[in-house]
A and B are shown apart, each in its own frame.
Chain A
Amino acid sequence: EADIYQTPRYLVIGTGKKITLECSQTMGHDKMYWYQQDPGMELHLIHYSYGVNSTEKGDLSSESTVSRIRTEHFPLTLESARPSHTSQYLCASSEWGDNSPLHFGNGTRLTVT
């Protein structure tokens, strides 16, 4: 049973639209992450947060933005979607500590036409 939820599961949208991908977790984790994954490729970190009002850009340059107003909620926003944003977006969370496992959401598969 998932304790981290992503919506929508699938999204097809036209170029230029603003979209927000939702991610919520009920485990009280401080650390949350957004990863981007193209088919058959490795995950790339695009944003992360270590707590409320803390957000950082990841290793992969992204035109998206994130916010962390509440511990449980870490939405990702694209102000103007482009076909190059077509990808799968995975949200994850963990507790502090090197020995904390990662919990992943089921992902949002985004297609921009």
Chain B
Amino acid sequence: KNEVEQSPQNLTAQEGEFITINCSYSVGISALHWLQQHPGGGIVSLFMLSSGKKKHGRLIATINIQEKHSSLHITASHPRDSAVYICAVRSYNTDKLIFGTGTRLQVFP
């Protein structure tokens, strides 16, 4: 079992839909990252969380430390949101990042 699990693996949506991507982890962490990877391969850091909730534009990220779970929400989805969304946790013990396999999102007009 991977230490970081994301669901779903693939997600398709119509433009305007509300989207939720989930991330569960099994190790003690000091921080959790949500990353966006476009087809060209480059990765952009969206959020870094250690507690609570953060919002940036149409994106919202939440984390529940007790339940070892985080969610990434996209409101009013748009085709340009199509990308792979990656959850990564920084292990409290090793200080290294552990990555999920990503959620591939396609938003159709």
Contacts and interface: CB of A to CB of B under 8 A. Distances in A.
A98 B41 contact: no
B40 A106 contact: yes
Contacts of B88: 43
Interface residues of B, number: 23
A104 B40 contact: no
A61 B44 CA distance: 26
B90 interface: yes
A105 B2 CA distance: 26
A104 B102 contact: no
A-side interface mostly: loop
B101 interface: yes
A102 B98 CA distance: 13
Contacts, number: 56
Contacts of B12: none
B-side interface mostly: strand
B31 A104 contact: no
Contacts of A33: 97
Contacts of B42: 2, 104-107
B45 A104 contact: yes
Interface residues of A, number: 25
Contacts of B43: 90, 92, 102, 104, 107
B86 interface: yes
Contacts of B33: 101-102
A109 interface: yes
Interface of B: 2, 4, 30-31, 33, 35, 40-45, 48, 50, 86, 88, 90, 96-97, 99-102
Given A98-B30, A109-B41, 19 more contacts: A33-B97, A40-B101, A40-B102, A41-B101, A42-B2, A42-B4, A42-B100, A42-B102, A43-B86, A45-B96, A58-B96, A99-B31, A100-B48, A101-B48, A102-B35, A104-B35, A104-B42, A107-B41, A107-B42
